[in-house]
């Protein structure tokens, strides 16, 4: 079965109350912080967290912009069947 790969770079100004960060850890229990709580962390702990749900973060963002957005379709052997590259 073919797979779709999306590569992108850009920016967004996230909502501090609605955007959630999740702690990366070995523990099965998930730990979450709002972006506002994440901002208050000491710098040494910020790398332990990532944005939990990019789709909602983008939807809730006050500003979003893409520098480039690539959509690539590959078959099971890794052969590129389709490619669309968009740059702003």
pLDDT digits (tens, 9 = 90+) for 25-46: 888 889 999 999 999 999 999 9
pLDDT band at 88 (very low <50, low <70, confident <90, very high): low
- Count of other CB atoms within 10 angstroms of residue 82: 10
Mean pLDDT for the chain overall:
92
Look up the domain containing 29 and give its range.
3-87
CA distance 74 to 28: 33
Q: Output the CA torsion 69→74→78→84 (10° steps).
A: -30
CA distance 6 to 54: 13
CA distance 56 to 17: 12
Count up the domains in the chain and report the number. 1
CA distance 25 to 29: 9
Q: Is residue 67 predicted with pLDDT exceeding 70?
A: yes
Integer-rounded Cα Rg, in Å, for the chain is 17
């Amino acid at each position: 079965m073919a797979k779709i790969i999306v590569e992108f770079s850009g920016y967004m100004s996230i909502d501090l109350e609605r955007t959630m960060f999740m702690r990366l850890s070995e523990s099965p229990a998930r730990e979450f912080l709002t972006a506002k709580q994440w901002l208050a962390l000491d710098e040494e702990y910020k790398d332990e967290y990532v944005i939990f749900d990019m789709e909602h973060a983008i939807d809730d963002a006050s500003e979003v912009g893409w520098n480039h957005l690539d959509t690539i379709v590959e078959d099971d052997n890794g052969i590129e069947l389709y490619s669309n590259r968009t740059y702003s």
